[in-house]
Amino acid sequence: MSNTEPLLDVTGLTKHFPVKGGFPIRRTVGAVQAVDGLDFQVAQGESLGLVGESGCGKSTTGRLITRLLEPTGGTISYQGKDITHASRKQLAPIRSEIQMIFQDPYASLNPRQTVGKIISGPMEINDIDPAGGREKRVRELLEIVGLNPEHFNRFPHEFSGGQRQRIGVARALALEPKLIVADEPVSALDVSIQAQVVNLLQKVQEELGIAFVFIAHDLAIVRHFSQRVAVMYLGKIVEIADRDDLYGNPRHPYTRALLSAVPEATVDDTPRERIRLTGDVPSPINPPSGCRFRTRCWKATEKCATEAPPLVQVEGNKPGHLTACHYPETGNSAPADRLDKTPRAAA
Ligand SMILES: Nc1ncnc2c1ncn2[C@@H]1O[C@H](COP(=O)(O)OP(=O)(O)O)[C@@H](O)[C@H]1O
Ligand code: SF4
Ligand SMILES: [Mg+2]
């Protein structure tokens, strides 16, 4: 693998879940367009943040990359190898290199297994015998994630939420992965301990050189963690850029609205007020024509209803900064009736 080749290369990635209906014969009557044509790359050791409101297709994307789900269309290449439809057997050699950390540390750990068993499980399945034995490796891993190495005989219920997520991290690290997909790894945790777990993941990323796809529903959490950020809306990437370009020069109205909710964000002339997103995310079974964001966008025109804006480097963007909007923002354009009067600073 050459140095310029991305670790992960996703093109046109699509997942449509069939919707069944009809009586007496149940047949496919539609599709949930959960993920609809994503293009992105992840470099070795890089952290890509994936953000967007609930239901926009983030988890589905994570499950497609880790091949827990079968894509409907598009391609997934890992280290230059097409793994889009690879069989279990074909995937075996790289299974260990791509790991997933789940949102809910309570549900994702087997309550009847000791921590040692949980962490060594992936080693057993993959027939990996580390030098010094699996138990020694489990202790090392517990130490890396900031847990007491002597606690390998305890059960998940004996740990707090934050500690359980550390166990999940240790399990993901057991096979020395090159890529970790972390699906909202701190959303279920108390705000007070979210930062600790994010710091742990950051340490892991930097010291072990592991690439991350870090999924979050808001831009605050990925801010310090991801070098690059992709914003998703209704199954599509609407904007993707290096962190500083995205936070400093958001061009998509949706990105701007999400950023207005981040207390510490200082964006050119973004008002201190929060931009209110009216209405809910439309159903992915019947998404709006043209630009999918148009039903909630204050700038939508006839063109937005008929033409889907391509994800491109619009004028004024730095290379690598792509935006899918016919009328990219150059400053804040949200009208007064979209702004919440409570200043962000007071939040
Ligand atoms: N197995 C499934 N069958 C049908 N629809 C699904 C399935 N999984 C997810 N969806 C739908 O796909 C859309 C995207 O879901 P998801 O990827 O979980 O979004 P997010 O993680 O951003 O909240 C949602 O509308 C969800 O209801
Ligand atoms: S393309 Fe139109 S509707 Fe979509 S975000 Fe841009 S201005 Fe709004
Ligand atoms: Mg999700």
**Per-residue model confidence as pLDDT tens digits over 137-194:** 999 999 999 999 999 999 999 999 999 999 999 999 998 999 999 999 999 888 888 9
Interior/surface letters 328-344, b for 16+ CB within 10 angstroms, e for the rest: bbeebebeeebbeeeeb
Q: Ligand 2 pocket: which of 289, 291, 312 to mutate (most atoms <8 Å of CB)?
A: 291
Q: Is pLDDT of 201 > 70?
A: yes
pLDDT tens-digit map of 79-137:
999 999 999 888 888 888 999 999 887 788 999 999 999 999 989 988 888 889 999 99
**Is residue 50 in some structural domain?**
no
Shortest-distance Cα residue to atom 17 of ligand 1 = 57
**Is residue 310 in some structural domain?**
yes
**Is residue 316 in some structural domain?**
yes
**Is residue 133 in some structural domain?**
no
Q: Where does ligand 2 bind, in terms of residues with CB under 6 Å?
A: 252-253, 291, 293-294, 297, 299-300, 304, 309, 325-327
Ligand nearest to the CA of 57: 1
Task: Judge contact between 322 and 313, C-beta under 8 A.
Answer: yes
**Is residue 298 in some structural domain?**
yes
**Is residue 320 in some structural domain?**
yes
Overall domain count for the chain: 1
Domain extent, residue 324, equals 250-347
Shortest-distance Cα residue to atom 5 of ligand 2 = 325
Per-residue confidence (pLDDT) for residue 267, from 0 to 100: 57
**Is residue 277 in some structural domain?**
yes
Ligand nearest to the CA of 300: 2
Q: Ligand 2 pocket: which of 237, 277, 323, 325 to mutate (most atoms <8 Å of CB)?
A: 325
Mean pLDDT confidence for 228-248 = 97
Mean pLDDT confidence for 222-240 = 95
In this prediction the pTM is 0.92
**Is residue 273 in some structural domain?**
yes
